[in-house]
Amino acid sequence: PPVRALRPLVAVMERSAEIGLRRALGATGRHIAAHVVAESASLGILGGVLGTALGLTAVIAIALLRGWSPVIEPALLLWAPLLGLATGAAAGLYPARKATRIEPTEALRGR
């Protein structure tokens, strides 16, 4: 969903003073970008793991309620969280780029 993709960008905008301070203290653009992408990727994998767990629970519950045998593809238990990780990392690329362009002096002044 588009709202999910905006979360990392909003986080960068809200934390521009913090990013400016880190830049003023010597953090490179790469450090800042890596931090933003890692944060976004960790949210993505968390969503993937929680979504997988919820989906697995739903499949088992529905199968048992209907007297069926639950069919679970083991590869999905690995691929779903990895897809969440990849999606989260990809969603963090644009905000990471924006974060590297924050000027320390302007950010610390609150502009």
Who contacts 54 (Cβ-Cβ below 8 Å, separation ≥6)? none
Reported pTM: 0.84
**DSSP characters for 84-96?**
HHHHHHHHTHHHH
**DSSP characters for 16-59?**
HHHHHHHHHTT--HHHHHHHHHHHHHHHHHHHHHHHHHHHHHHH
The region that residue 27 occupies, defined by phi over 0 for left and psi between -120 and 50 for alpha, beta otherwise, is beta
What digits encode the pLDDT tens for the residues 45-55? 999 999 999 99
H/E stretch holding 103 reads: none
Whether the predicted pLDDT of 25 surpasses 90: yes
